[in-house]
Amino acid sequence: MEKRHEERLSTASPALLLYCRAGFEGECAQEITAICLAQRIHGNTQYADNSGFVEFIGDEQALVHWPDWRQLIFARQSLPRFARLDALARADRLTPIMAALHARGEAFREVWVEAPDTNAGKELAPLCKSFGNALVGALKRASLLDPRATRRLHVFFPQGDKVYLCAADPEASAPWPQGIPRLKFPRAAPSRSTLKLDEAFVSLLNESEQERWLKPGMRAVDLGAAPGGWTYQLVRRSIRVSAIDNGPMDRALLDSGLVEHLRTDGFRYRPKQPVDWLVCDMVEQPRRIAELIARWLGTGACKRAVFNLKLPMKKRYDETQACLARVRAVASDVRARQLYHDREEITVFAAR
Mean per-residue pLDDT, 35-45: 85
Residues 16 and 164 in one domain: yes
Reported pTM? 0.92
pLDDT at 310 over 80: yes
| Domain hosting residue 275, numbered range | 194-351
| Catalytic residue numbers, as ranges | 310
Residue type, 155: V
Q: Give the model confidence (pLDDT) of 153-188 as tens digits.
A: 999 999 999 999 999 999 999 999 999 999 999 999
Query: 220, 219, 200, 196: which is closest to 209 by C-alpha?
Result: 200
Q: In this structure, is residue 77 part of a structural domain?
A: yes
- pLDDT at 65 (0 to 100): 67
Greater pLDDT, 43 or 315 = 315
CA 149 to chain centroid: 26
Are 131 and 94 a contacting pair, CB within 8 Å?
yes
Alpha helices (H) along 191-239: 194-204, 207-213, 229-235
Q: In this structure, is residue 186 part of a structural domain?
A: no
- pLDDT at 37 (0 to 100): 85
Structural domain count, the chain? 2
pLDDT at 266 over 60: yes
Q: Which of 119, 146, 179 is the last residue of a domain?
A: 179
Phi, psi dihedral angles at 276 (to 5 degrees): -75, -35
Q: Give the model confidence (pLDDT) of 77-117 as tens digits.
A: 999 999 999 999 999 999 999 999 999 999 999 999 999 99
CA atoms in the 13 A half-sphere facing the CB of 118: 20
- pLDDT at 223 (0 to 100): 98
- pLDDT at 39 (0 to 100): 82
- pLDDT at 61 (0 to 100): 63
